[in-house]
Amino acid sequence: MVQLGNFKDALELAERHNFSLKEEFAMKLIPPMPANPNDVMKNKERKDICLRLAKLSKKQGDFKLGAKLYTQANEKLKGMRCLLKSGDVKQVIGFA
Output phi, psi for 82, to 5 deg. -65, -40
Residue 2 has pLDDT above 60, yes or no: no
pLDDT tens column, 16-49:
777 777 888 888 888 777 777 777 888 888 899 8
Q: 21 Cβ partners below 8 Å, 6+ apart?
A: 14, 53, 56, 57, 60, 62, 65
Judged by DSSP in three states, 61 sits in coil
What does the pLDDT read at residue 51? 92
Residue 86 has pLDDT above 80, yes or no: yes
Does any domain span residue 25?
yes
pLDDT tens column, 67-81:
999 998 989 889 888
Does any domain span residue 1?
no
Judged by DSSP in three states, 54 sits in helix
What does the pLDDT read at residue 24? 85
Domain count, the chain: 1
Question: Which residues constitute the domain of residue 30?
Answer: 7-95
- Alpha carbon distance 49, 71 (integer Å): 13
